[in-house]
Amino acid sequence: MIRLSQLTLRRGAKTLLENAELSLNPGERVGLVGANGSGKSSLFALLRGELHADKGDVDLPRGWRLSHVAQETPAVERSATEYAIDGDGVLRSLETKLAEAEKGNDGRLMGEVHAMLADADAYTVRSRAETLLLGLGFRKEELDRPVSSFSGGWRMRLNLAQALMAPSDLLLLDEPTNHLDLDAILWLEEWLRRYPGTLVIVSHDRDFLDGVVKVIVHIDQGRLRRYAGNYSSFEAQRAQAVVLAQKQIEKQARERAHLQSFIDRFKAKATKARQAQSRMKMLAKMEALAPLHVSAPFSFEFREPERAPNPLFVFEDVAAGYGEKKVLEGITLSLQADQRIGLLGVNGAGKSTFIKTLAGVLSPLSGSVVANKGVKVGYFAQHQVEMLRDDESPLFHLRAVSRDAREQDLRDYLGSFNFPGDMATSPIAHFSGGEKARLALALIVWQRPNLLLLDEPTNHLDLDTREALAVALAQFEGTLVLVSHDRHLLRATTDQFMIVAAGRVSPFDGDLEDYRDVLLSKAPAQKEPKKTAETQKPARPQKSRKPLEARIKRLEELMARLNARKAEIEAKLADPALYAQGGDEPLRALLSDQAYVGRELAELEGEWLEKQAELERLA
């Protein structure tokens, strides 16, 4: 058992943990969560023996073998496979001992070492290392390439492979999914489920945590709080705790009142209770988690686009790539208003190439790309963060894209993105990666795009900011094309998928669970059905349900946004200060907005009921 008793840990003048207590049982799979800077990495360093507690005790079972992912990768000439095998230090030590025994012609020692090598599974080590590397996304022809030939992200995968190769009783993984694509994450998730030792993971990927861990340890106000269950279970338990200690009573009451009125209206409108059942479940969950979101440190929303042309883009037999290197070809599609597309595919398949071609960063190598005159693109990729000027402030960057706006309006806006006061005017050189990514998002949101192209927007974002982004994107009223390894974000914000593979971009008829099954079974992403009498029959209801379910989900997101706007208008209309100001222009504007929102809600609710009835008929 791992036991931390009366633990106090400081870094400089900051106290990270104070009188913290924690016990972890052998074989438990644990997710360690907490705000950035709360002490997760320091706690890992403490468990590794690289830091010492300022007070209290850290007890680990004697003789436990510990494995973790190295942060640096030497540019050695060893092959990728041999580098991965180096993670098994005991095996390498035995190989050295065997070489010495052979050199000294010591037959007795050679026999002993061979027996120990057999116990250490030395004769399967190469195939085990290759399986690890292939699972983490390396191609077979890359297994013998020298480590020095790989880029930084791929070297981090090699370090991860080394950590997984090491026989261990305690495995510490700090953001293991950061450099992985979705395919590799799904493989790693399966591998970790079978890991027999004690596992502690720091991750901002909630779906990954849900799929692997059975215990959550939350660093909260200098204490370690243990919760049974995965991340979703922790979130629900924490929401209940927040209710008991809620200081924002009025704000919480308004939130619940809005949701309750929403529920009541649906109950009154639905002709059959069964039609509204899925909506009731979703709203019940929203209500349960409302206190948690109310107390969250950060939230934002995308401003409504000024106009929505349709279609936005038309691709005709387009080839895309770099210079003479063709990455994708034969792209023919029409990007429609309000589409919400998630792009699937392994790293290097061409997802970023497709997004860059949509964004106009890359010109097509051949074929035709026609953009509607009214398209306004908001494009986020990692290079957007890198292009920010470290010597300038958030206010400087925002003023560069909005020269006519009042400074106070810009400051208020930056405050809504958690850049308050002096932070808005300070150089961003000392900002974290997550804060810079948040600033890049703020610059995009300000410009009110009607097409969002997001390429891995959650890198460096903590769980609270990821959740705020998911909520904002779910309510975004434009068109979205998203590349992300965060399944929660994909599931919450997109309603159809396209797969990028073998140089093509094609629709994927399925959801993330189908994609997972495809990957884990090693089946091709698109199967050619056999020409039998069975395949000539109409599609089964289960298949035809998916477009309906996706549309219903989108309608629910739009209605939630409109109901929030309606409640906001009603609150303003109920404020006596509105009528004491004199002049009827603000009142007329609010009444006009109220009428518009009412009409839109009525239309959406009508369509929602129709789709629910259609879904019920299929069932």
380 shares a domain with 327: yes
Residue-wise pLDDT tens digits, 445-495: 888 888 999 998 887 777 777 877 877 787 788 889 999 988 888 887 887
In this structure, the strands spanning 496-501 and 504-508 are antiparallel
pLDDT at 581: 64
- Decide if 232 is inside a domain: no
pLDDT at 463: 78
- Decide if 331 is inside a domain: yes
pLDDT at 319: 92
Instruction: Give dist(CA 48, CA 131) in Å, integer.
Output: 27
Cβ-in-10-Å burial (0-12, 13-18, 19+) of 555 comes to: buried
468 against 315, higher pLDDT: 315
Could you say which of 487, 521, 555 is where a domain stops? 521
Is the pLDDT reported for residue 234 higher than 80?
Answer: yes
Instruction: Give dist(CA 79, CA 16) in Å, integer.
Output: 41
pLDDT at 213: 92
449 shares a domain with 327: yes
338 shares a domain with 445: yes
Contacts for 284 with CB less than 8 Å, ≥ 6 apart: none
pLDDT at 40: 87
> What CATH number did the domain enclosing 415 receive?
3.40.50.300
Is the pLDDT reported for residue 350 higher than 80?
Answer: yes
Residue-wise pLDDT tens digits, 186-220: 999 999 999 999 999 999 888 899 999 999 999 88
Structural domains counted in the chain: 2
pLDDT at 32: 93
Is the pLDDT reported for residue 597 higher than 90?
Answer: no
* Mean pLDDT value of segment 318-336: 89
356 shares a domain with 326: yes
* Mean pLDDT value of segment 102-125: 79
Q: Dump the DSSP string for 155-221.
A: HHHHHHHHHHHS--SEEEEESTTTT--HHHHHHHHHHHHT--SEEEEE-S-HHHHHHH-SEEEEEET
Provide the whole-model pTM: 0.63
- Decide if 262 is inside a domain: yes
288 shares a domain with 425: no
Instruction: Give dist(CA 157, CA 181) in Å, integer.
Output: 11
* Mean pLDDT value of segment 493-511: 86
Instruction: Give dist(CA 155, CA 73) in Å, integer.
Output: 6
* Mean pLDDT value of segment 563-575: 78
- Decide if 61 is inside a domain: no
Q: Dump the DSSP string for 112-129.
A: HHHHHHHHTTGGGHHHHH
485 shares a domain with 582: no
462 shares a domain with 505: yes
Identify the three-state secondary structure at position 233: helix
Q: How many residues does the chain have?
A: 619
pLDDT at 490: 84
* Mean pLDDT value of segment 308-321: 88
Is the pLDDT reported for residue 11 higher than 50?
Answer: yes
Decide: 395 and 446 in contact? Cβ < 8 Å. no
Is the pLDDT reported for residue 391 higher than 60?
Answer: yes
Could you say which of 490, 521, 552 is where a domain stops? 521
355 shares a domain with 259: no
Could you say which of 521, 555, 572 is where a domain stops? 521
Decide: 455 and 358 in contact? Cβ < 8 Å. no
Phi, psi of 539 (to 5 degrees): -60, 145
- Determine if residue 201 is left, alpha or beta; phi over 0 gives left, psi from -120 to 50 gives alpha, anything else beta: beta
* Mean pLDDT value of segment 543-547: 63
C-alpha to C-alpha distances, 301 to 173, 451, 526, nearest whole angstrom? 33, 15, 37
Contacts for 33 with CB less than 8 Å, ≥ 6 apart: 40, 202, 209, 216, 217, 218, 219, 231, 234, 463
Is the pLDDT reported for residue 269 higher than 60?
Answer: no
290 shares a domain with 320: no
Is the pLDDT reported for residue 296 higher than 60?
Answer: no
- Decide if 503 is inside a domain: yes
C-alpha to C-alpha distances, 311 to 333, 371, 478, nearest whole angstrom? 10, 8, 12
Is the pLDDT reported for residue 582 higher than 80?
Answer: no
Instruction: Give dist(CA 335, CA 371) in Å, integer.
Output: 10
pLDDT at 214: 93
320 shares a domain with 290: no
Decide: 507 and 532 in contact? Cβ < 8 Å. no
In this structure, the strands spanning 29-33 and 215-220 are parallel
Instruction: Give dist(CA 453, CA 352) in Å, integer.
Output: 10
pLDDT at 276: 36
C-alpha to C-alpha distances, 44 to 32, 48, 206, 407, nearest whole angstrom? 10, 6, 20, 43
278 shares a domain with 364: no
pLDDT at 584: 65
Residue-wise pLDDT tens digits, 508-541: 887 788 888 777 775 434 444 344 333 344 444 4
Phi, psi of 463 (to 5 degrees): -65, -40
- Decide if 225 is inside a domain: no
pLDDT at 532: 37
- Decide if 589 is inside a domain: yes
Is the pLDDT reported for residue 562 higher than 90?
Answer: no
* Mean pLDDT value of segment 312-321: 90
Mean per-residue pLDDT over the chain, rounded:
79
- Decide if 178 is inside a domain: no
Q: CB-side exposure of 176: number of CA atoms within 13 Å?
A: 30
Instruction: Give dist(CA 143, CA 154) in Å, integer.
Output: 12
Q: CB-side exposure of 590: number of CA atoms within 13 Å?
A: 17
Instruction: Give dist(CA 461, CA 488) in Å, integer.
Output: 14
509 against 174, higher pLDDT: 174
Range of the domain at 382: 313-521
pLDDT at 298: 62
Is the pLDDT reported for residue 254 higher than 60?
Answer: no
Decide: 148 and 79 in contact? Cβ < 8 Å. no
443 shares a domain with 344: yes
pLDDT band at 343 (very low <50, low <70, confident <90, very high): very high
* Mean pLDDT value of segment 557-570: 79
Instruction: Give dist(CA 611, CA 598) in Å, integer.
Output: 20
Name residue 331's beta-bridge partners.
Answer: 318
Residue-wise pLDDT tens digits, 15-52: 888 888 888 989 999 999 987 778 888 888 888 888 88
* Burial letters 457-479, b for 16+ CB under 10 A, else e: bbbbbbbbbbbbbbbbbbbbbbb
